[in-house]
Chains A and B, each alone.
Chain A
Amino acid sequence: MKLAILGAGAVGQSVADLAGEYGHEVVAISDSSGAAVDPDGIDVERTLERKAGGDPVGTDGVDDVFESDYDVLVEATPTTLGDAEPGFTHVERALEDDRHVVLANKGPVAERYDELRALEADSRGSVRFEATVGGAIPVLSTIEDATPQAVTAVRGVLNGTANFILTRMAAEGLDYEHVLAEAQDLGVAEADPTFDVDGTDAALKFVILANVLADGGFSLSDATVEGIQDIPGSALDLAAEDGRTIRLIGEATRESVRVSPRLVPENGALAVTGTRNIVQIETRHAGSLASSGRGAGGPETATAVLSDVGRLPEL
């Protein structure tokens, strides 16, 4: 397949870097200041070097990307809330041109799922978005295999930053502010960690899951969200006395989406440590399925994008 990649952050760059290994070709890549387009395939290494040197990836514009001869648009621009722009318009444009779309950007599938599916229905292209939920962990493809109707609920930990902070607080008996500062020093938490610690990032992923289970109808405003900012070290100590710990747990069903700090058994499956993520899929016929792994990171998330590309039918 010929890929056009929008967004040259950690994920976009990794997709470009790994595409060859998966047997695909990159014909266009863009960042916020320009684009590189080449019908014969761009020189990924040289393009990324340019980017690393602080230059735009190329001298073309975003319109040139859409006019190129691509099969799959990889939407890897930063997630935006509300109208999910400009990601949504990118997806719309590709589908109207009867191309496939693979999303790493959570905005359009969390905030405008129903519109997205309507556009897909009128297009010869299809939309896939494994990378939006749980990074490298195969979540949506597992649900797809089990069929969404046979899945009753999905629970789990889908934010590595919050999980890292809670793990360190429990292990070191430190308070939230201390551990947050440490996480920022380590690069685990961003300078502005708001969306990670207030539950928004995890909520977006569980909203996407609820949309898959219920075939639409959810956006971020439908989710009940509490973060971990108000959890003191003493609460984790009390939980530990009882053989439990506290994790930022999300739950998605066909009826609701909720993300909040919850008591879970200390040695239970959901009490993953550090930046690890886990999802547990409750099924009607096969009990509970769990898989854990890296929920973020450039190459990790890129593998999910490229698995999606591999599942697309030829146009």
Chain B
Amino acid sequence: MVDDPEQTVGESAESDENEPETDGGVRAYTVRLELVDEPGELLRALDPISNNGGNLLSIHHERGNKTPRGHIPVEVDLESPPDRLDDIVGALRDAGVNVIQAGADHYGEEISVVLVGQLVRNDLSNTLSRIETEVGAAVRDLSLTAPDGTEAISSARVRLAVDSGRSEEALETIRTIGSDKDLTVVEPLLGGETA
């Protein structure tokens, strides 16, 4: 993280006046979004970008072209300091905008799994890093509960970002890691209308 006197971590763009300062170069990024086909959606999606110090370069918006889910894909080219991109993506998500890809990272789908077992004794951080490297997923969030202490059976909920269309494959790999480490993996039910 580059030093930034104007903004502390976690406090993303509360007002327009508080223009974040940049110290040391900007880079160009392409952010791919999927918007709901409703009036005002595009504008709503662009606000979080400028509010967080992003400089819009171009917007590619093809209204006629829809995704299988009926959303409109939008490609936004922007300039921002490298350490601001996460804030921009975070603010877009907070605004309810579906971010498919930002910079080099794909964020196609999010899946949650619950792991049960001797999580702490079996090296939880190793389990998570195996999930990241072997599955090719980014761990977005982790909740751990160990009601009977860390030496006993505990449970963890892990939220992962995986590439579009790779959820089944990701879950299969997590199953393998789970059986290696003697963990019960509770997977989400994918597919179908209630998944």
Residues of A whose CB lies within 8 Å of any CB of B are: 153, 155, 226, 230-235, 237-239, 241-242, 244, 246, 249, 251, 260-265, 268-270, 280, 282, 287-288
What would 24 A/B residue contacts be, using CB atoms closer than 8 Å?
A: A153-B192, A155-B192, A230-B184, A231-B184, A232-B155, A234-B146, A235-B114, A235-B116, A238-B114, A238-B143, A242-B112, A244-B188, A246-B114, A249-B189, A261-B184, A262-B187, A263-B112, A263-B188, A264-B188, A264-B189, A265-B194, A268-B194, A280-B194, A287-B193
Asked if B25 lies at the interface with its beta carbon under 8 angstroms from chain A, I say: no
Q: Judge whether B194 and A270 touch: CB under 8 Å.
A: yes
- In the assembled complex, the Cα of A238 lies from the Cα of B184 at a distance in Å of 14
Judged by DSSP, the binding face of B is strand
In the complex, what residues of A have CB within 8 A of residue B114's CB?
Answer: 235, 238-239, 246, 263
Nearest B residue to A268 via CB reads: B194
Min CB gap A148→B, angstroms: 18
Q: Complex Cα distance A263/B189, Å?
A: 6
**What would 6 more interface pairs be, CB under 8 Å, given A226-B184, A260-B186, A262-B187?**
A232-B155, A242-B157, A249-B189, A263-B187, A265-B194, A280-B192
Does B156 have its Cβ within 8 Å of any Cβ on chain A? yes
Residues in A with CB closer than 8 Å to B145 are 234, 237-238
**Complex-state Cα separation, A288 to B192, whole angstroms:** 7
Closest Cβ–Cβ distance, residue A255 to chain B (whole Å): 13
Distance (whole angstroms) from the CB of B116 to the closest CB of chain A: 5
> Which B residues are CB-close (under 8 A) to A244?
112, 188
- Chain B contributes a number of interface residues (CB within 8 A of A) equal to 25
A241 touches which of B143, B154, B184 (Cβ 8 Å)? B143
CB of A87 to closest CB in B, whole Å: 32
Which of B114, B146, B154, B155 neighbours the largest number of chain A CB atoms within 10 Å of its CB?
B114
In the complex, per-residue mask of B145-186: 1 if CB is within 8 Å of any chain A CB, else 0: 111000001111101000000000000000000000000101
B64 in the interface, Cβ–Cβ < 8 Å?
Answer: no
Q: Which of A153, A251, A262, A268 has the most CB of B within 10 A?
A: A262
6 residue pairs, one from A and one from B, having the closest CB atoms: A235-B155, A238-B157, A268-B194, A234-B155, A263-B188, A234-B145
B10 interface contact, C-beta 8 A: no
Cβ of B113 under 8 Å from chain A? yes
A288 vs B194: C-alpha distance in the bound complex, in angstroms? 9
Bitwise, B99-132 to A at CB < 8 A (1) or not (0) is 0000000000000111011000000000000000
B57 to chain A minimum Cβ distance, whole angstroms, is: 37
Closest A residue by C-beta to B190:
A262
> Which residue on A lies nearest to B111, using beta carbons?
A263
B191 within 8 A of A: yes
Taking CB atoms, residues of chain A closer than 8 Å to B188 are 244, 262-264
A153 contacts across to B, CB distance below 8 A? 191-192
Residue with the greatest number of chain B CB neighbours at <10 A, chosen from A239, A249, A263: A263
- Report the bound CA distance from A107 to B112 in whole Å: 36
Q: Say yes or no: A288-B193 contact (C-beta < 8 A), given A231-B184, A235-B186, A238-B114.
A: yes
Contact partner of B186 among A237, A246, A282, CB < 8 A?
A246
Smallest CB separation, A233 vs chain B (Å) = 8
